[in-house]
Structure 1
Amino acid sequence: MTPKVSCIIIVYNGEEFLGEAVESVLAQSFADWELLIVDDGSTDSSRGIAQRFAQAFPGNIRSLCHADGRNHGMSSTRNLGLSHARGDYVAFLDADDVWLPNKLMAQVAVLDAQPDVGATYGRALIWHSWVEGTAKEADFFL
């Protein structure tokens, strides 16, 4: 089956946050998606985390990496994900980001209702205070 949205997470040594990013996709109220987790030559456990999610959710999540297993950079890694995407729409999420549960539902609704629209985006919270007492800057929205 072809999903409505292909979600793509690229990761390079993101073991600390990758699970939370994937969980935020799993928690979406909009369910017609696939998730491609694309490893960019990580030397930590990121690839293993991606593979465990792919094994646990084989109909929705796939784990990819460059053929040589090496680091190729963000653009090449996103392009690898895009080359495997099957959805009508594409949504990018970095390995250290999380989505709110209605993100895909809201953005797909806009794209479906306005076929001339080529892209959507939402506000992003730059969250410095996630570890109490360590923030050098205040949180802010983009």
Structure 2
Amino acid sequence: MRRRIIIVTAVHAPSAPFLAEAYTSLCAQELPGGWDWHWVIQEDGMSSDVAPQVPADERVTFRQGRAGGPGVARTMALAHADGAYVKVLDADDQLPPGALARDLAALEENPDIGWATSRALDLLPDGSTVGFEGDPANGPIERGAVLAHWKANSYRAQVHPATLFVRRDLLLALGGWMALPASEDTGLLLAMNAVSRGWFSSEVGLRYRKWPGQATSQTAHTDTAERDTRMAVVEARARALGHFPWRYPAGSD
């Protein structure tokens, strides 16, 4: 497998203007010798609004497809994931300097770890950032710990799924992101932790933009009936995976 990190970004027309800032943050990343990145931008839909916002860079691939939500777009992007690792970067978010190198080091140095996450800061419209209390300790996250915390804290995980860095083979084995209208990234996070240990970096690895057009700010996202249904499916999948003997890497406890 190529020594390459695939940056996967789902985008739709309202978030396309933020791609330039995401690209700037990606270009500021420094990787160890012999490693590079490939940014795969997948439009959730087939508009004429996104392509003009895509950076002209040979390291960037842009594709379009039928609208199905960000999880579908990210999973479709995996067709172009020609590297050992996959990093999520939403179109409206930014990577602080050093984020990719820290994620890479965590998994390269710990072959029994399947995925990594990091501290996130909310990026507010005025440019300021806000952090949160309660992050886990820097280091490994034991298998099943995310589900336990999520269940005990009103469906809030102790790590942010938008900061995900994952081994490509583990991501593919789990089928990519869940087929849900929202919470598809939380569903993947819990599924990964059901079969694999993870890692948390206490250094900031993502600036998570808060703005009126983001999907999580829409009324439908907080509809109680739909939310309860999503959470039920997310939990059931994680528990089912936890009951099977398959673990990552193969042969681990």
Aligned to 2:12: 12
Kindly report structure 1 stretches of 4+ aligned residues shifted beyond 3 Å.
none
Question: How far did 1:23 drift?
Answer: 1.6
Q: Aligned ranges for residues 92-131 of structure 1 at < 5 Å?
A: 92-128=88-124, 130-131=125-126
Aligned to 1:28: 29
Aligned to 1:76: 72
Aligned to 1:139: 130
Quick check: 35-44 or 97-106, which moved more? 35-44
Structure 2 regions of 5+ residues with no counterpart? 133-159, 161-253
One-letter identity of the residue aligned with 1:10: A
Counterpart of 2:42 (choices 38, 42, 67) is: 38
Cα pair 1:15 1:46 within 8 Å, conserved: yes
Question: How far did 1:95 drift?
Answer: 0.5
Structure 1 regions of 5+ residues with no counterpart? none
CA distance in structure 2 between the aligned counterparts of 1:16 and 1:42, rounded to whole angstroms: 16
Cα distance per residue 1:27-47 (max 9 Å; x no partner): 111261111011112646322
Question: How far did 1:24 drift?
Answer: 1.1
1:64 matched to 2:55: no
Query: Secondary structure of 2:116's partner?
Result: coil
Identical counterparts, % of pairs? 31
CA distance in structure 1 between the aligned counterparts of 2:130 and 2:106, rounded to whole angstroms: 28
CA distance in structure 1 between the aligned counterparts of 2:21 and 2:122, rounded to whole angstroms: 16
Query: Secondary structure of 2:16's partner?
Result: coil
How many residues end up aligned between the 2 structures?
129
CA-atom RMSD, angstroms?
2.2
Cα pair 2:17 2:53 within 8 Å, conserved: no
Q: Provide closer, same or farther for how the CA distance between residues 44 and 123 of structure 1 changes in structure 2, counting only shifts above 3 A.
A: farther
Cα pair 1:12 1:46 within 8 Å, conserved: yes
Considering only CA atoms, is the larger Rg found in Structure 1 or Structure 2?
2
Query: What TM-score comes out, normalization by structure 2 length?
Result: 0.47
Question: How far did 1:139 drift?
Answer: 2.2
Query: What TM-score comes out, normalization by structure 1 length?
Result: 0.80
Cα distance per residue 1:53-103 (max 9 Å; x no partner): 2xx321x1111111xxx4221111011111211110000000110001201
CA distance in structure 1 between the aligned counterparts of 2:106 and 2:96, rounded to whole angstroms: 17
Q: Provide closer, same or farther for how the CA distance between residues 3 and 9 of structure 1 changes in structure 2, counting only shifts above 3 A.
A: farther
Higher helix share goes to which structure?
A: 2
Cα distance per residue 1:90-133 (max 9 Å; x no partner): 000001100012011111011100011000011010122x327x
Greater length-normalized contact order (CA 8 Å, ≥ 6 residues apart) = 1
CA distance in structure 2 between the aligned counterparts of 1:62 and 1:23, rounded to whole angstroms: 16
